[in-house]
Structure 1
Amino acid sequence: METPLSLADIRINYSLKELTVEAVSSDPFKQFGTWMQEALTAKVEEPTAFTLSTADAQGKPTARIVLLKALGPEGFVFYTNYESRKGQQLLENPYAALTFFWPSLERQVRIEGNVERVPAEASDSYFHSRPRGSQLGAWSSPQSQPIEDRSVLENLAKEYEAKFSDLDVMPRPPHWGGYLVKPQKIEFWQGRQNRLHDRLLYELQPDGTWHLQRLAP
């Protein structure tokens, strides 16, 4: 008989750093940039990876890991297939939550906001910066759709490779591009001892400024 998993006693007592209102930037984008740079410097595995949570028109949520590809004064950008499940949900309900987790730094960032497609020019620019194999993958995958087996993908990849073999610049698929998440809330979480974690929440105000407050863990 297999021994059942014992999960209740698994715990880590976080103690690396603290997070105070006095120490952070008044601009949450600058604060995020600081934390991202620290994650890069610390060589965190997949520092740009985050959980993207979306919901359909009935409020049923789904989540998956995607990669952050740009950060600007308006928000956070990622790229995907517009016809995928997340693309369909964002069409029905253009609001999302992003969760970054850097365990080695004992840090988490949670972001909530409205979502819109980035301009076609931005999607074109990023698409053409990708390796050619990744470009072919964007054409070849009917993302989120059932397929009989892997050979379907491999055959489609061969077809598109032949189709674009004479082109130096592969066109971007019309069903593929970027999304901009325009945050209304950004929360920074720093693990602390005895589960008394530090949580600082920035909330966007009607006048465009950010209100910063501490939350209980």
Structure 2
Amino acid sequence: MSGPEPGRIRSVAGPKRTLPREAPARPLPPDALALLTAWLPQDDDPDRPVMQLATVDADGAPDVRTVLLSAWSEAGFVFHTDARSRKVQQLTADVRVALVVLHPSGSRQLVARGRAVPAPAEADALAFERRTESQRRLAWLNTLEMAQLPPEQRAAEWAAFAEAHGSDVPPPETWSGRLVQPDRLTFWQADPAGPSHRVEYRLGSSAEAAGGWSMHHLAG
């Protein structure tokens, strides 16, 4: 068994992706956008936030892992992964998802719940361009075949790929983006002078929400 040939980039085709036919979720409300702007870095910031992403498996049980937040906007939150991954398989069967972004200080936490749909192709290319050289290389070499090699051979394959290609690599065909369209956003914040506090935005059809977003103050 061997890893990818170091002198040649080998594409491995993933499942074909098309934009969803369903109507997109409503844009986030201005108050929530203002909080996101204050809490999250801009998309061109190389220091990408780490977030926990929860999906639902075939048995209805939760599954969670850590991913990078590629971008965010009034439409939702975008992350990228390998199209052959377990998370993509689960999201293909069940679009329900939740994510958590914890501020490095531990004093702020963003929780979003909603549905994950394929991200636009232009978002995929831009996110790959903004990844570090090591992360771009990982997108090509992070395969089951590579994982089953002895550590010394994995290191050799990694070094050979870097020497052959450097940072000048396009996204592999398995580079896959998902847009999380939230129906609930919860902002938790610690308060050194008092109890912690949550502000929650919910998207619903209730009279209070009037078919759009409603805001609620909750105990921390």
- Structure 2 length-normalised TM: 0.69
Partner of 1:92: 93
Q: 2: CA distance between counterparts of 1:198 and 1:125? A: 36
Partner of 1:177: 176
**Alignment length, in residue pairs?**
183
Structure 1 residue 29: Cα displacement: 2.4
- Structure 1 length-normalised TM: 0.70
Structure 1 residue 195: Cα displacement: 9.1
Matched, 1:36 2:37: no
Contact 2:108–2:187 (8 Å) recurs in 1: yes
Q: 1: CA distance between counterparts of 2:104 and 2:170? A: 39
Gaps of 5+ in 1: 1-24, 38-45
Structure 1 vs Structure 2 CA RMSD = 3.1
Partner of 2:103: 102
Distance change in 2, residues 1:137/1:146 (3 Å): closer
Please give the secondary structure, in 2, of the residue aligned with 1:124.
Answer: helix
Partner of 1:69: 70
Higher Cα radius of gyration? 1
Structure 1 residue 102: Cα displacement: 2.5
Q: 2: CA distance between counterparts of 1:209 and 1:121? A: 28
Matched, 1:213 2:195: no
Distance change in 2, residues 1:83/1:186 (3 Å): same
Contact 2:100–2:112 (8 Å) recurs in 1: yes
Q: 2: CA distance between counterparts of 1:74 and 1:120? A: 15
Q: 2: CA distance between counterparts of 1:96 and 1:197? A: 25
Please give the secondary structure, in 2, of the residue aligned with 1:59.
Answer: coil
Q: 2: CA distance between counterparts of 1:125 and 1:197? A: 37
Gaps of 5+ in 2: 1-28, 42-46
State which drifts further: 59-68 or 203-212: 203-212
Identical counterparts, % of pairs = 31
